[in-house]
Structure 1
Amino acid sequence: MDKRTTDFGYEKVAFEEKAGRVADVFHSVASRYDTMNDLMSMGVHRVWKRITIERSGVRRGHKVLDIAGGTGDLTAKFSKRVGDQGQVVLADINSSMLNVGRDKLTDLGLCNNIEYVQANAEALPFESNTFDCITIAFGLRNVTDKAKALRSMARVLKPGGRLLVLEFSKPVNPVFSKVYDEYSFRVLPKLGQWVANDPDSYRYLAESIRMHPDQETLKHMMEQAGLERVEYTNLTGGVVALHRGIKL
């Protein structure tokens, strides 16, 4: 039996317990996930995602994997970019999030080049050297074994392919960091109570952000996973960072 522990927010839990605990959070918030994203970020998450798309280098005919793709914001944009000759796989470990994403994209008329796969990022069910680009947006911090997941992503990338990790990170300005902490721990749970009737899930989300590796640590982890030319860009003062690495 695996006796290792990991972080579930500020709580220490057994390795094998975290995935189930995270699943409960996202089953709870799935139906209000898009609404809460807009409220929590005041719509800025759409800018962060647009920058991710622009940095991806994805073009017509490419095959893209959107891990922890949830409600499909990135998948929708990639679907239009790759065209009929390309393919986008929306993968998420959580069935509730996957179902919300499928329904949303189907309502948008985007279905011809999208595949939906329930998958764990630590053990992606794809052959090696499959994808031209992989993205994981606001999902890596919820993964139990992040290093294993990054290795799994690197394995299924084609040589020359890009991995982009969009994730909450560490603000670079100490004053702004204090304001951000106040917002995260006082305002977010109240929004969660008001909109989703679930303050505990949004308290966990705030805690999970604080426990996620900082910019330089994540860069090193990506390099250790076998990616080259890893770089990152701080967005909104480091509240979010976009890391990009290439498989050579």
Structure 2
Amino acid sequence: MTDRAASTGAMETSFGYRTVEKGQKQPLVDDVFRKVAERYDLMNDIMSAGLHRVWKDAMVGWLNPPKRPGWRSLDVAGGTGDIAFRIFEASHRQADVTVLDINGLMLEVGRERAHKRGFGDALAFVEANAEELPFEDNSFDAYTIAFGIRNVPRIETALAEAHRVLKTGGRFLCLEFSEVDMPLLDKAYEAWSFHAIPRIGQAVAGDGEPYRYLVESIRKFPRPEAFGAMIGKAGFDRVSWRGMTGGIATIHSAWKL
């Protein structure tokens, strides 16, 4: 077992269990998501036994979007729209929701899903990098990112950008896979992740290697307390987190005050 990164800085050169040069991780990650875009949501169901839906509902429930126009939310690395759609519906379709992703194929999937749900053009889809957001300072009331932060090479830069674009009083929420802290469940989850998921990825998506990377990247991501410290270092206050399903995933919350 490869040790988890002691800080998010170590993630810049970590592509799963491989160490790569600075600047190499982003193209490799882009290639992974190009390969899985069309089956991404199906594989999320398979990889988490459907639990990712419960965790995403919990994150949006914790956010509790207001049901009034003018409230702005940015969902980063959210190409297929799962979090953005939940926020839009929770606001009674009043919120101004923007979906941002570095991968154009993922955004295409999100746009198609939005139209199928009858949202029309109510949501904005923007292709851009989490490390360099194309928005002015103090633009959004909420910033969300689900299962995306560990794929960003310079996580500290992405956190600083999140802080920059949030208004004073704005909320940061991050849902990410974590470290199982329940006996027996940890062993079962380990076996499922490293042995079953790549094989299922091969069968369902035609390529198991992207899913091997995704599993390895989960194991390299810092523990909740270490990541929480990085959120605080980026300037956020009232940093807290909640473990989900025995620690398989964690929701991090913070505020720009």
Compute the TM-score of the two structures, normalised by the length of structure 2.
0.92
1:57 matched to 2:68? The reply is no
3-state SS, counterpart of residue 184 of structure 2: helix
RMSD: 1.4
Q: Deviations over 1:63-97 (max 9, x none)?
A: 00000112111111222234565310000011110
- The aligned amino acid for 2:227 is L
The corresponding residue for 1:66 is: 75
| Structure 1 residue corresponding to 2:129, chosen from 95, 112, 120 | 120
In the TM superposition, 1:9-20 aligns within 5 A as 9-20=16-27
Q: Specify the code of the residue in structure 1 equivalent to 2:34.
A: H
Shift of 1:133: 0.6
SS in 1 for 2:124: strand
The ranges of structure 1 where at least 4 consecutive aligned residues each deviate by more than 4 angstroms after the TM superposition are none
1:165 aligns with 2:168: no
Residue of structure 2 aligned with 1:241, choices 228, 250, 253: 250
Contact in 1 for aligned 2:12/2:154 (Cα 8 Å)? no
User: What is the aligned residue count?
Assistant: 245
Alignment of 1:40-119 (within 5 A): 40-59=47-66, 60-61=68-69, 62-83=71-92, 85-119=94-128
In 2, Cα distance between equivalents of 1:123 and 1:116:
16
Contact 1:86 1:113 in 2 (8 A): no
Residues 1:38 and 2:45 aligned together: yes
SS class of match (1:116): strand
Q: Which has the higher contact order (CA 8 A, sep 6+)?
A: 2
Of 190, 209, 212 in structure 2, the residue corresponding to residue 181 of structure 1 is 190
AA at the equivalent of 2:102: I
Gapped regions of structure 1 (runs ≥ 5): none
CA contact (8 A) 1:235 1:242 kept: yes
Separation in structure 2 between the aligned mates of residue 135 and residue 5 of structure 1, nearest angstrom = 21
AA partner of residue 105 (structure 2) = S
Specify which of 174, 185, 198 is matched with residue 207 of structure 2: 198
CA distance in 1, matches of 2:212, 2:94: 42
Deviates more, 1:48-57 or 1:82-91: 82-91
Query: C-alpha separation between the residues in 2 aligned to 1:100 and 1:116?
Result: 11
Q: Please state how far the C-alpha of 1:41 moved relative to its aligned partner.
A: 1.1
The answer to which structure has the higher helix fraction is: 1
The answer for unaligned runs of 5 or more in structure 2 is 1-10
Identity %: 46
Show the counterpart of 2:5.
none
Tell me which residue corresponds to 1:212: 221
